[in-house]
Every structure is written in C-alpha cells, then in structure tokens.
Structure 1
Amino acid sequence: MKQSKIQKGKTNIIGVTGGVGAGKSTVLKYIGDNYNCKVVFSDDVANEIKMKGYPAYDELVRILGKAILGDDGEIDRGKMAAAIFNDAKKLEKVNKILHPAVNTFIINIIDEEKLKNRLDFVFVEAALLIENGYKDIVDELWYVYADEATRRKRLKDSRGYSDEKIDGILGQQLNDETYRLNSDFVIDNSKDLDSAGEQINKKLGEWRV
C-alpha cells in the first residue's frame, strides 16, 4: 500500500472510483454512516445541474429541444436518454456540457468544505475520476474493486442487465490494472460489507465517529 497522504486537522479530499457493479455506493454509505464526512455522488450532481436555473439546463434544451422536458418544465431523464440514444454526435455534445459542469460544481463543494474545515473528509464518487484528472484535485484516490463474476451477478440481480449489456459496459471501462496503477488505496468489495468495512476501518480507524 502506498504511504497515506491524508492528515489529521484538515478536511481530506478522497476520490472513490471503480467499475460498474463494484459496489461503490454501498461502500460509501458505510463510510458516510461511520465517519465525519460529506459524500458527493457525481450522478446526483449531474441530475442537479440539469435542473431549471442552472446553465446546463439551458444548453441541453438548446441542443436537444423542448421535447426532453416533462410537464413540470424540468428535463425528463427518460426523454433525454431517448433523444441521444444511438446518436453519437448528440451524446458527445451532451457530455461536453455535463462533464465540465459537474467538475466545476464538485470543485466548488470541495473548496467550500476546505474553507469551513469542519469535516475530516469529503468523498467524491465518480466512474471517470481518473479520466477527468481528479488525481490532481484529491488527496487520495481509492479504487473499489470486485471480481468480474461478482460484478456480473450484482448487475443481473439488482438491475436486470443481460450478459450482452454487461459485456458492452465492461468493455467501455478502464481495466483493473489501470485502476490500481492510479489509486492510492484499494478496497476489495468482492465479499460482504463486513469485509469491506474492516479494510476501511484499518485505513481510517482513528477517525471513526
């Protein structure tokens, strides 16, 4: 394990990444329940910045049209997904709007919590932390790992995904070696939460609340 970069007396920023089905949300719920921290999920941020009043809302409506809006005037996720389905150019345009906007929102949260310095940690979860350069933003980057068989079973049980869909998703994600090379700490979440919790507590035990 690499030497820890996190320190007492400051708000430490930790990025948490890993492939689909690895159980990042479950691990982060455990951390949120047991440590003095804030957990930021990139998907939640992406949903928030698509709401009326945020710049991303206006840009998305301009690109995709008012057909993506629901009766309440907000962007309907299902309608938006249908609008970009099988349209690589539209998807690229949407990503160019959302990814920078999400990053800016998260960085603002990080800066605010650093100034307050009332938390031990801010955990930032995103599938694309490595690709989006978060190694330069966070104090440490953690990788939640689970073996492929476990991930496949979870995706089938919890989301009803077919083997074909899972193959497609896994093929688009970073491989295990790349995750490990870019990470400061690896949580093996192939087993149950008790096992993952032991690894986390060994790493962060002195901060437990």
Structure 2
Amino acid sequence: MSLIKGKTNIIGITGGIGAGKSTVLGYIKEHYNCLVIFSDDVANEIKKKGYPAYDELVSFLGEGILGDDGEIDRAKMAAAIFNNKNKLKTINNILHPAVNTFIINSIENERKENRYDFVFVEAALLIENGYKDIVDELWYVYASEAVRRERLKSSRGYSDDKITDILSKQLDDETFRKNCDFVIDNGKNFALTTGSIDKKLEGWKING
C-alpha cells in the first residue's frame, strides 16, 4: 500500500511487549500532524459512566467495584477478578469488542473530518482483531527478545518467568513481519529508529 497526501491515512502500530511502541509514537506525535489512539487509553475510557461497557461490567461484577465517585475503581475491579480465569474471559469479551467499536468509530470520524495527515492506532492485538482490513497500513515495531527482556526488567521490574509467560502468549516475529507493511527497528540507536520513520514519511514532517 502507499500513503496518500490530502487524506487522513490510518496506520496501525503493533509489536510485542517491550518493543517501545509508545516511545516510537511519542516521537511521531511530536513531529507529524497526527492523532494517536492508544488501545489501553480507550479501554480505560469505555469503563466510565455513559458507556455500555460500564453498565455491563457493573452488572457482572457488582457495585463493589465502584469508587466513591460512582466510577469503576481499577484496584477494586482487579481484586474482583483476581485469579479467576472465567471472570477474566468474560471481562475481555465485554471490553475487546467495545474497544474495537470505539476505535473504528474514531477512525471513521477522522476520515470524514480530514483534520490530520495520519491517525495512528496502537494495540498489541491489531493483527488478531482483523485491523489489517481497517487501516491503510500496519507497522511493526521490532526489538530483539533480549532487548525487550532487559527493558521489561529495568522499567517494570518483571521477573524472567513473568516475561517468558507474557512472550509465550504473543505473536512471533515471523507472524508480525508477514502481516505488516513496514518494520521499525527500535532495538538499537533511537536515532536510527527515527531516521527510518522520517524516511518512510518523507515530506510530511512538521517539526524538525
């Protein structure tokens, strides 16, 4: 696929945990005319009053997950589903479709408004959730497993066992590369990372 000037290009950003998707998107947001949608932020937003997911979660888990302000309290919700795989599965079945609906509606709105050169959508499960058919291009942020392990240990304090467990549940490098249109190597010097982005988006940069 090719990106087109004069329209809002929709780009999905995916990659394994610890690859540095947020860092890459921080650079892009600073230097390009774009909207960035983080799936984790969307998941937090749709838990608020006024969204259908809020009502479904409260109905399923009970009002004990609410804080004094009537909003869902993250810690209380986490405690309510702790070590219960069936509850977690139900929660995911509520949240994942709601997140997808929110993101797809946001994409459609920005396509109509045409205010940005790009809308970037970040999520670990873009490939699994069929976003290849929704976005104009899928980009894969890559870093080697060794680099990702070191980042997760230093920034999040994860143990080797926890990291191994998380990695075992994510797509492998070959699958990411097969399904994505552009690969960003974010495992070495960040200047090389940004250089590859600028080369890809040559002519769009607004902040040098």
**TM over 0.5, shorter chain:** yes
Cα root mean square deviation, aligned:
0.9
Report the counterpart of residue 23 of structure 2 in structure 1.
26
Distance apart, 1:206 and its partner CA: 1.1
Q: Deviations over 1:14-46 (max 9, x none)?
A: 000000000000000000000010000000000
Distance in 2 separating the partners of 1:160 and 1:108? 36
Distance in 2 separating the partners of 1:100 and 1:27? 26
Distance in 1 separating the partners of 2:110 and 2:145? 36
Alignment of 1:165-180 (within 5 A): 165-180=162-177
Report the counterpart of residue 9 of structure 1 in structure 2.
6
* Range moving further from structure 2, 59-68 or 8-17: 59-68
Report the counterpart of residue 40 of structure 2 in structure 1.
43
Report the counterpart of residue 92 of structure 1 in structure 2.
89
Distance in 1 separating the partners of 2:191 and 2:96? 34
Report the counterpart of residue 150 of structure 1 in structure 2.
147
Structure 1, unaligned runs of 5 or more: none
Percent of aligned pairs with the same residue? 71
* Aligned with 1:136 (options 133, 137, 151): 133
Alignment of 1:184-203 (within 5 A): 184-203=181-200
Which amino acid in 1 is paired with 2:100?
A: N
Q: Deviations over 1:67-111 (max 9, x none)?
A: 211222211112212222221111111111111111111111111
SS in 2 for 1:207: coil
TM-score (norm 1): 0.96
Q: Does 1:82 align with 2:69?
A: no
Q: Deviations over 1:122-149 (max 9, x none)?
A: 0000000000000000000000000011
Distance apart, 1:192 and its partner CA: 3.1
Stretches of 4+ aligned residues off by more than 4 angstroms: none
Alignment of 1:122-133 (within 5 A): 122-133=119-130
Which amino acid in 2 is paired with 1:191?
A: K
* Range moving further from structure 2, 86-95 or 76-85: 76-85
Distance in 2 separating the partners of 1:171 and 1:162? 14
Distance in 2 separating the partners of 1:83 and 1:32? 36
Distance in 2 separating the partners of 1:164 and 1:71? 37
Report the counterpart of residue 116 of structure 1 in structure 2.
113
Aligned residues: 206
SS in 2 for 1:142: strand
Structure 2, unaligned runs of 5 or more: none
TM-score (norm 2): 0.97
